């Protein structure tokens, strides 16, 4: 029986999946579908032109190999970008290689990312955005939900925050967030000239332009950007000449209604080594903090990363990693990668013992086991009640809520089983499960409770 075009594309997808990482496959190929295959012409349906350009630039080799293996030689590849709702004239079909000149772009990228000496403002260039860093792949919790909402508003031009200044310690997701804004903006307007660049690379480009006598070309290039995203802007501290150039670029973009997005490890008020007029520009728009990942976010990152990698992480392993790797999302992602590598090499499933070995290489594990009585004592002290009341049969709302906090903390921080917690409180397994689930659900919507839990957790960790 002859295979239809969808079955052929599924075989091609499987070939691609076997030859790239799971993250790359999920980010680029999982949602691509076959629109048609006739007369040796294959047409693939992709979400946007930007999406097609990224596939061409990054995976033209493996894609071509898969097509030759499944479809044979001489196949012409086309991409179809679907129409915007109620706007039929927005549907676009393009031939592989023609719009993006993929091979040429790959060579240019290796030599000089986002060439600032490119003379023509309308010429295509690499936005330097990692397509994996989308809002869909961005985990949210109470600590970063507001930042995400602001980012989406900026990308969709719902609200004007210019500049948007995002700050927070290393590894909390600043780069992912600011790149997600650029990706969303490109999806909504593929012709938008979005550029993501690290401040250190900006400084290197400026130095090279100054040495080559190409300052005017450098300045004109950055004048042509519609959305400029500068990461780690604190790296410009003490670089007076570079700051002066950035000041003039900033002013030009701002005056012409172009979006500026900046990230730093600290707020403008704490930045040193900057001219006052530069810092003043940083404060013109919205300043948004990204906090260290809370327990909810750490668990969410672990679950999503494990799902993307096809890794089975038991709940006790997730709880253990989330309780010990607390400072950085980047560290959590690294732990999952190490777990997957160890499990593959050893040919075993991921368990708590393996997780302990991997985590011990990343952070110092606090081997002090929190006991149940200590958790009860801290919760009672925090809320200003007698600890004995938590063991009574009373169903008063305030006491019941505090009892559920004890259940949640005993499970999350002391790694106690539901049965063990229930026996201490004189409650059933089902009651403890309900109490833990109730607190977890409330953490997503109740800011006051979230702050209370964080404070109690901090006290327990300090013991």
Per-residue pLDDT at 463: 58
Per-residue pLDDT at 77: 87
Per-residue pLDDT at 85: 36
Higher pLDDT, 42 or 341: 42
Higher pLDDT, 417 or 369: 417
Per-residue pLDDT at 181: 94
Tens of pLDDT, residues 52-72: 777 877 777 788 888 988 988
Per-residue pLDDT at 321: 83
Which among 375, 381, 367, 384 is positioned nearest to 404, based on CA atoms?
375
Instruction: Name the token pair of 23.
Output: 């993250």
Buried b (16+ CB within 10 A) or exposed e, 424-458: bbebeeebbbebbebbeebbeeeeeebebbbebbe
Per-residue pLDDT at 50: 62
Quickly tell me which residue has 């097509």 as its tokens. 67
Query: What value does the CA radius of gyration of the chain take, rounded to a whole number of Å?
Result: 26
Mean pLDDT of 372-384: 87
Give yes or no for a contact between 273 and 237, defined as CB atoms under 8 angstroms apart.
yes
Which among 64, 263, 295 is positioned nearest to 174, based on CA atoms?
263
**What is the distance in angstroms between the CA of the first residue and the CA of the last residue of the chain?**
69
Per-residue pLDDT at 142: 63
Answer whether residue 88 shows pLDDT above 60: no
User: pLDDT-derived band of residue 362, with 50, 70 and 90 as boundaries?
Assistant: low
Tens of pLDDT, residues 116-175: 444 444 445 678 888 888 888 887 766 677 888 888 889 988 677 889 999 988 878 889
Give yes or no for a contact between 284 and 162, defined as CB atoms under 8 angstroms apart.
yes
Give yes or no for a contact between 293 and 141, defined as CB atoms under 8 angstroms apart.
yes
Per-residue pLDDT at 462: 66
Per-residue pLDDT at 231: 93
User: pLDDT-derived band of residue 440, with 50, 70 and 90 as boundaries?
Assistant: confident
Tens of pLDDT, residues 291-309: 777 777 788 888 887 777 7
């Amino acid at each position: 029986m002859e295979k239809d075009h969808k079955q052929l594309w599924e075989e091609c997808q499987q070939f691609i999946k076997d030859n790239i990482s799971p993250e790359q496959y999920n980010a680029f190929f999982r949602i691509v579908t076959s629109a048609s295959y006739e007369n040796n012409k294959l047409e693939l349906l992709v979400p946007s032109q930007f999406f097609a350009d990224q596939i061409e630039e990054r995976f033209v080799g493996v894609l071509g190999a898969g097509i030759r293996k499944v479809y044979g030689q001489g196949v012409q590849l086309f991409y179809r970008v679907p129409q915007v709702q109620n706007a039929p004239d927005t549907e676009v079909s393009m031939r592989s290689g023609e719009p993006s000149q993929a091979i040429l772009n790959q060579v240019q990228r290796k030599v000089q990312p986002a060439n600032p000496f490119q003379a023509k403002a309308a010429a295509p260039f690499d936005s330097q955005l990692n397509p994996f860093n989308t809002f869909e792949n961005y985990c949210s919790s109470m600590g970063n939900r507001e930042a995400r909402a602001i980012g989406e508003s900026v990308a969709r031009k719902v609200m004007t925050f210019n500049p948007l200044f995002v700050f927070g310690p290393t590894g909390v997701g600043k780069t992912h967030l600011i790149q997600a804004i650029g990706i969303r903006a490109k999806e909504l307007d593929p012709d938008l000239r979005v550029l993501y660049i690290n401040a250190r690379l900006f400084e290197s480009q400026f130095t090279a332009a100054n040495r080559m006598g190409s300052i005017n070309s450098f300045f004109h290039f950055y004048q042509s950007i519609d959305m400029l995203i500068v990461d780690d802007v604190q790296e410009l501290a003490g670089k007076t000449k570079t700051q002066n150039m950035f000041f003039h670029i900033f002013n030009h973009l701002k005056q012409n209604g172009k979006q500026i997005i900046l990230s730093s490890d600290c707020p403008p008020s704490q930045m040193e080594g900057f001219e006052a007029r530069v810092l003043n520009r940083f404060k013109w728009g919205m300043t948004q903090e990204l906090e260290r990942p809370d327990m909810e976010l750490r668990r969410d990152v672990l679950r999503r990363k494990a799902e993307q990698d096809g890794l089975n992480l038991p709940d006790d392993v997730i709880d253990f990693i989330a309780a010990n790797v607390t400072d950085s999302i980047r560290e959590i992602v690294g732990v999952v990668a190490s777990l997957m590598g160890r499990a593959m090499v050893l040919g075993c499933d991921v368990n708590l013992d393996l997780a302990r070995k991997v985590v011990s290489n990343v952070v110092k594990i606090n081997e002090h086991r929190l006991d149940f009585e200590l958790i009860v004592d801290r919760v009672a002290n925090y809320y200003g009640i007698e600890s004995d009341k938590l063991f009574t049969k009373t169903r008063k709302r305030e006491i019941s809520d505090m009892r559920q906090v004890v259940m949640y903390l005993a499970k999350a921080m002391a790694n106690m089983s539901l049965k063990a917690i229930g026996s201490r409180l004189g409650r059933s397994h089902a009651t403890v499960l309900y109490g833990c689930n109730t607190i977890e659900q409330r953490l997503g919507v109740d800011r006051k409770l979230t702050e209370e839990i964080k404070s109690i957790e901090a006290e327990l960790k300090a013991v």
